[in-house]
Structure 1
């Protein structure tokens, strides 16, 4: 063979001219699309070359998994559960129905590695692995899917709540070695409850009891929660406790440290900061810590071998997340108890209607003390009744009747006195002194308030109103229709000049106060703990808490009263509570008898007759009036659904304070309620999710918001 027939020698390197020639040849040859096992000439992983990825897109029509090719260099790190970045939409992956959505790099999680794909086109490749740390376990993925289906939301939105943002510094540090299980603690103060010792013993033996616990008043409930956690750890399993706020989380944290020592539990609260919180979360996921105490976001904590989930004070609004799909801690922990087959404990000083339903259905057993122990632990509750009216004719109309003044004077002889006021500020509601018409701003019609005794401002736009006059009668003098905590403290300070007055509210919350005589004025939920307990307490302006147009007004009022009254010494130690409210109302009578369970049972029976939650399931569809009407009309709702509404929502003025989901200022929004019988909630949620997915796919969802079991049903 001649040298002319020999193959030409391949150049050592491709210069610019060679590269241009290659590109031109490829263009003219019209090379077909790459097959799934190659990506831009790069080799793929030899085993399981396909990664199934959940992309971080919260829209419902993209609530599915997408397949991506795994390059060989990412094979080791791209394991199930890790965070990745992928190219999604135009120029990247194509949606299964052939439509392109968006573009650019987006976050995601690898949920599975596969040998093949059912997608017919060429797969895009994983861009890169954000971190080789697996943060999404199969169990957490299943829980997130169940929560998304329960609340008609997307899996991506739930995982944004469940998995905290990555912190590289925290991730690079190793977690400590896990400690061996502790010895089972003694029942301690659980002996005050009939089934209390048996409940703790069942946890220590590896059992899975489910209970609704009505705690006795006093300071012992953090220690009782700690003993339940300690018994669960002794069985070799993990435990999770969720409380409404950081102050109560700190109390349970201190009780656990005192009972079990350091290193056996983590405290997950927003106050910890992103790095510390993520480091503690990683310690839980890695199995270094088997017990967690935290606030709302901790309901998704990845505790290994979960043996107990507990929620304290499930009626607190802090347990309901304000981010889509708006899950509630109680419902999420119920799902975790069912999925992980672990014990469940719902505790509180009061009792919600949902807790009463769990007992009535047989899903959980009641756990409480007998009436004699309740009477001994609770303070004496007094109301302004007929005898008081006979001695003081103005007692019913007075904000502080003579009974209240006498109770304060007597209580200050032996310790601090708590005064609960429903509203903060000086005079948060003002009215014309002559005609009692509400005082409104002339610029935006917002309510006027007095932050202090000298200022007069609009609550919405913040403008001052120094020359205000009533548009109804022309009057120029104002009176307080609602008196706030600041003015109450000022009035009590003048009445008791030798006694220190302390305030606790949203701007400045006190954790505790000494046991010396003092007046402590607090808004609901901000009451500090007194050393040795308060000698007495006043619960003022009960009408303001009971007068809300809300299905839960009575339940919430009773819960807040009981929370405050439980900080007072027991009746045997002289503790007295005076409530200034109509004594014949059901919540007031329940407080006098200290019977939150009976009140919840009666509320449950009435709601069953009327078809209200939690007996039935409801969903709220909120948004612009035309969008809400179109959504309900086109949705394939269950045949037994009852449509209530639409009802127009109040139009907010410019500058008014807004919560997540509130209508923008000046826009007309409406809300429609959808109600289905018991057992049909899953069908309603599925129908709403499908309808919302269809509208988002067509680009017509607008700002329609779906909320299953809304907490603010009026």
Structure 2
């Protein structure tokens, strides 16, 4: 019976094949009949261009950079035409293009080269990078009349705020005359950095070249957008952020691609914007983790811009109130020059910084100052400053009571259903699980049978509640989480904010209190101290200068290097020290490092397949969680072998992909976080 069914099925298949019309051989294009296409396929072993025949009727539409539809592995897939050539290396008959989706050349040649370089550096695929670089198509927008070219820009006659920096005017002059200066800019406290960047953009545009300005988030982008509008004039730049709708984002992208606009302000995805004749790339606050792309292959906007500057030979500027070890590395190698003010100018602009909590005189007056969340000195500074303006209070945690402990044994309080951490969302709300949300009003410790709970740390909302009682006649405003304030006025107020959510003051803060320094510095992360100092400097830079009475109080121990760097206001010196320590310890950016995460068998298989450089050192694997379902393997090599490491890992991934090996392995090259 089974044999009869098989014969019948074979007969049906043969009949269907005979009934299908044979594909007619399409006439090739008269010139350059072969299109090299980057097919949108996620498989690592297929990360290469494929040749397709350009039919005669698609000859005019099929231009390099356009979107096409091709037949690949039995299905129709999207792709981009990289180039048209006369002959193919493939010795068999080429499959013709299905159709040209759009004749708009959205993929610029320089962006294609950049995307390829980024994919190779991060052991990723070109298809993944192109998804980050090119926004989705919006057909109606393509049919709109093209935007008129932006009017010419006059060079800035006055360097403005750049005069405060020793080489600031020379930097603008080099941009105007078409040179390619590369600098690491340490901004002065209270600096109007959006205006500075807009002036740099104006000098570059006046020299006939394009500008790319990348900032961490939409709040910074909005400030820079306003500054560019004021300095450059209307219609001379575009803003590219994720907050734009798909139609408007694609409309602005096309204006840049068509050369109508040469100045782009945006967040990390805009680092790939196809700016014509690029003369300057800028990354503001490059230590912010928002510059790191959370999707494969996990590129960092700073590295993308540096690769772009290297490929095109254009200028580059890394700026911020803080400085990273990566910026110090660029200075150490001579790739960039420092753009700083002298110490006398820094002292004139900086607020006075106090350390509260471990001073002998303060401890004699207030014995609890070492353990108090708000020591007496911080309280006095805040009370005095509130007479002249707003006071910023930065606290590392959001929420009310973000973590709870057992009062008896000091163990973490966990949910009896899912073992998630217990927390409290408000003063009148019972403890609840942070994972499943179940209330735990009748919680009992499984270790010591105690029913009492204590809070090792408090959140911004609880801090606001406590300060409201301490300063009963002062308005208290909270900024953090889903409620982030953009600005705050000059009237007295207590502003409680989490790092990165500080509102911009119209006339500077009268004082700032930086609380729970131990909590920020004790995170199990390679960049904990660097990130903490960056957050402190960004907050302290909003405070008025010492000459105007501005003061910053950091609650902690004065001997901590990060606190000392804040007191001296020496971000670049601290970054150089951090770089030297990482050289000794063997951590980025002194070395190239990759993490391999996934199921244990899959990670072991990739390690076996990878032909790592002889200089490679492997650390681990170690479990990522308590169930040992996933592990992490760390591989590090000298910087000179960084590309060999990325290539070896990608080849190993390709072999696993071709063999269809089970288990997904995540490869991150130079990850931002390394806990």
Which of the residues 53, 58, 65 maps onto 2:37? 53
Report the counterpart of residue 394 of structure 1 in structure 2: 368
Given the alignment of the two structures, is residue 473 of structure 1 paired with residue 448 of structure 2, yes or no? yes
The answer (yes or no) to whether the contact 1:299–1:332 under 8 Å persists in 2 is: yes
Query: Could you tell me how far 1:247 is from its partner in structure 2?
Result: 0.6
Number of residue pairs the alignment of both structures matches: 657
Distance, in Å, in 2 between the alignment partners of 1:490 and 1:66 is 63
The answer (yes or no) to whether the contact 2:256–2:275 under 8 Å persists in 1 is: yes
Report the counterpart of residue 72 of structure 1 in structure 2: 56
The answer (yes or no) to whether the contact 1:692–1:701 under 8 Å persists in 2 is: no
Query: Could you tell me how far 1:701 is from its partner in structure 2?
Result: 5.7
Given the alignment of the two structures, is residue 351 of structure 1 paired with residue 326 of structure 2, yes or no? no
Given the alignment of the two structures, is residue 83 of structure 1 paired with residue 44 of structure 2, yes or no? no
Which of the residues 107, 115, 123 maps onto 2:86? 115
The answer (yes or no) to whether the contact 2:502–2:539 under 8 Å persists in 1 is: yes
Distance, in Å, in 2 between the alignment partners of 1:64 and 1:701 is 23
Other structure's SS at 1:467 match: coil
Query: Mapping of 1:561-640 within 5 angstroms?
Result: 561-640=536-615
Report the counterpart of residue 377 of structure 1 in structure 2: 349
The answer (yes or no) to whether the contact 2:355–2:553 under 8 Å persists in 1 is: yes
Distance, in Å, in 2 between the alignment partners of 1:128 and 1:634 is 39
Report the counterpart of residue 710 of structure 1 in structure 2: 671
Given the alignment of the two structures, is residue 198 of structure 1 paired with residue 170 of structure 2, yes or no? yes
Given the alignment of the two structures, is residue 419 of structure 1 paired with residue 393 of structure 2, yes or no? yes
Report the counterpart of residue 10 of structure 1 in structure 2: none
Report the counterpart of residue 223 of structure 1 in structure 2: 195
Structure 2 unaligned segments of length 5 or more: list them.
Answer: 1-13
Query: Could you tell me how far 1:637 is from its partner in structure 2?
Result: 1.1
Distance, in Å, in 1 between the alignment partners of 2:320 and 2:360 is 33
Other structure's SS at 1:645 match: strand
Report the counterpart of residue 13 of structure 1 in structure 2: none
Offset from partner CA, 1:183-237 (integer Å, 9 cap, x none): 1112101000000010011101111000000000114111101100000000000
Other structure's SS at 1:693 match: helix
Which of the residues 522, 533, 537 maps onto 1:558? 533
Report the counterpart of residue 269 of structure 2 in structure 1: 297
Other structure's SS at 2:648 match: helix
The answer (yes or no) to whether the contact 2:221–2:239 under 8 Å persists in 1 is: yes
Distance, in Å, in 2 between the alignment partners of 1:272 and 1:40 is 45
Which of the residues 305, 308, 312 maps onto 1:340? 312
Distance, in Å, in 1 between the alignment partners of 2:426 and 2:18 is 77
Report the counterpart of residue 239 of structure 2 in structure 1: 267
Query: Could you tell me how far 1:583 is from its partner in structure 2?
Result: 1.6
Other structure's SS at 1:64 match: coil
Of the structure 1 ranges 42-51 and 73-82, higher mean CA displacement relative to structure 2 is found in 42-51
Distance, in Å, in 2 between the alignment partners of 1:215 and 1:583 is 24
Distance, in Å, in 2 between the alignment partners of 1:280 and 1:257 is 16
Other structure's SS at 1:43 match: coil
Cα distance, 1:523–1:342 mapped onto 2, change above 3 Å: same
Report the counterpart of residue 12 of structure 1 in structure 2: none
Which of the residues 131, 143, 149 maps onto 1:172? 143
Rg larger in 1 or in 2? 1
Distance, in Å, in 2 between the alignment partners of 1:223 and 1:117 is 52
The answer (yes or no) to whether the contact 1:193–1:367 under 8 Å persists in 2 is: yes
The answer (yes or no) to whether the contact 2:621–2:631 under 8 Å persists in 1 is: yes
The answer (yes or no) to whether the contact 2:108–2:257 under 8 Å persists in 1 is: no
Query: Could you tell me how far 1:138 is from its partner in structure 2?
Result: 1.3
Report the counterpart of residue 511 of structure 1 in structure 2: 486
Query: Could you tell me how far 1:678 is from its partner in structure 2?
Result: 2.3
Distance, in Å, in 1 between the alignment partners of 2:25 and 2:647 is 43
The answer (yes or no) to whether the contact 1:380–1:571 under 8 Å persists in 2 is: yes
Distance, in Å, in 1 between the alignment partners of 2:647 and 2:442 is 56
Report the counterpart of residue 438 of structure 2 in structure 1: 463
Distance, in Å, in 1 between the alignment partners of 2:127 and 2:372 is 54
Segments of 4+ moved more than 4 angstroms:
none
Normalised by the size of structure 2, how large is the TM-score? 0.95
The answer (yes or no) to whether the contact 2:403–2:455 under 8 Å persists in 1 is: yes
Query: Could you tell me how far 1:180 is from its partner in structure 2?
Result: 3.6
Offset from partner CA, 1:594-620 (integer Å, 9 cap, x none): 111111111111111122111111101
The answer (yes or no) to whether the contact 2:151–2:236 under 8 Å persists in 1 is: no
Report the counterpart of residue 143 of structure 1 in structure 2: 114
Structure 1 unaligned segments of length 5 or more: list them.
Answer: 1-22, 90-102, 652-665
Distance, in Å, in 1 between the alignment partners of 2:657 and 2:25 is 36
Given the alignment of the two structures, is residue 442 of structure 1 paired with residue 416 of structure 2, yes or no? yes
The answer (yes or no) to whether the contact 1:181–1:235 under 8 Å persists in 2 is: no
Offset from partner CA, 1:101-149 (integer Å, 9 cap, x none): xx21111011112222222322222111111100112111111111111
Report the counterpart of residue 650 of structure 2 in structure 1: 689
Distance, in Å, in 1 between the alignment partners of 2:26 and 2:268 is 45
Distance, in Å, in 2 between the alignment partners of 1:193 and 1:321 is 32
Given the alignment of the two structures, is residue 674 of structure 1 paired with residue 631 of structure 2, yes or no? no
The answer (yes or no) to whether the contact 2:282–2:317 under 8 Å persists in 1 is: yes
Query: Could you tell me how far 1:69 is from its partner in structure 2?
Result: 1.6
Q: How large is the Cα RMSD of the aligned pairs?
A: 1.7
